[in-house]
A and B are shown apart, each in its own frame.
Chain A
């Protein structure tokens, strides 16, 4: 149950701004330049 909660909280935060980050990644093609 603790691990399930860890997955859920991580996914909620990770996906919160991931579309914006994904677009930034596609545009720049580099990992470092799009880290928020």
Chain B
């Protein structure tokens, strides 16, 4: 019994504290530029939006415009970025209706996301997601700054910056 107690005690002492990291968005660079980007991205499919293809966009002959605050009230919350598997190294970005898929690789300094292909389903009530996900569609590179900062880069210079909080169990 005493031996069992000592063994159990040694096991408990050898266990490290389990901890995890939670990444919180702390900044979206060029926030004032977001409205203009959202307007230009509206009505485009993921494939059109990807890799910084910008330009005047019109819907039914009218300039596309959107009220970001209204959009955010309507947006459906979901995870926009999903890796398929470690082996395939492919990702999917979704706005809840259309999906954009491509591959990714570690190039040494950052994670590179390749240009890919997207579905073009008609999504009549999908504007909110399309606009807010604009940051994710156009992300072409992901990098760490130090150990606790994660940056999603895109050609529009609307980087998303996340900070890690350590969570202990």
A-to-B contact residues, CB < 8 Å: 3-27, 29, 31, 34-36
Chain A residue at minimum C-beta to C-beta distance from B32 = A29
Are A8 and B26 in contact, CB atoms less than 8 angstroms apart? no
Are A27 and B106 in contact, CB atoms less than 8 angstroms apart? no
B17 at interface (Cβ–Cβ under 8 A)?
no
B160 at interface (Cβ–Cβ under 8 A)?
yes
- The 8 Å CB contact of A21, one of B21, B25, B31, is B25
Knowing A11-B150, A27-B72, the reply to whether A19 touches B26 (Cβ < 8 A) is no
Task: Please give 8 more A-B residue pairs, beta carbons under 8 A apart, in addition to A4-B89, A14-B150, A19-B78.
Answer: A11-B150, A14-B24, A15-B81, A16-B79, A21-B24, A21-B25, A26-B31, A26-B72
Are A15 and B136 in contact, CB atoms less than 8 angstroms apart? yes
Chain B residues with CB below 8 A from A23, complex form:
71-72, 75, 132
B57 at interface (Cβ–Cβ under 8 A)?
no
Chain B residue at minimum C-beta to C-beta distance from A36 = B24
CB neighbors of A among B47-79 (8 A)? 68-69, 71-72, 75, 77-79
Report how far A34 CA is from B80 CA in the complex, Å. Answer: 19
22 residue pairs of the A-B complex, CB under 8 angstroms, read A5-B86, A6-B144, A7-B106, A7-B142, A7-B144, A8-B86, A10-B21, A10-B23, A10-B164, A11-B81, A11-B111, A12-B81, A15-B80, A15-B136, A16-B79, A17-B77, A19-B132, A21-B24, A26-B72, A27-B72, A29-B31, A35-B24
Give the shortest distance, in Å, between A2 (CB) and chain B (any CB). 10
B-to-A contact residues, CB < 8 Å: 21-28, 31, 34, 68-69, 71-72, 75, 77-83, 86, 89, 106, 111, 132-133, 135-136, 142, 144, 150, 152, 160, 162, 164
Give the shortest distance, in Å, between B16 (CB) and chain A (any CB). 18
Chain B residues with CB below 8 A from A16, complex form:
79
Are A26 and B162 in contact, CB atoms less than 8 angstroms apart? no
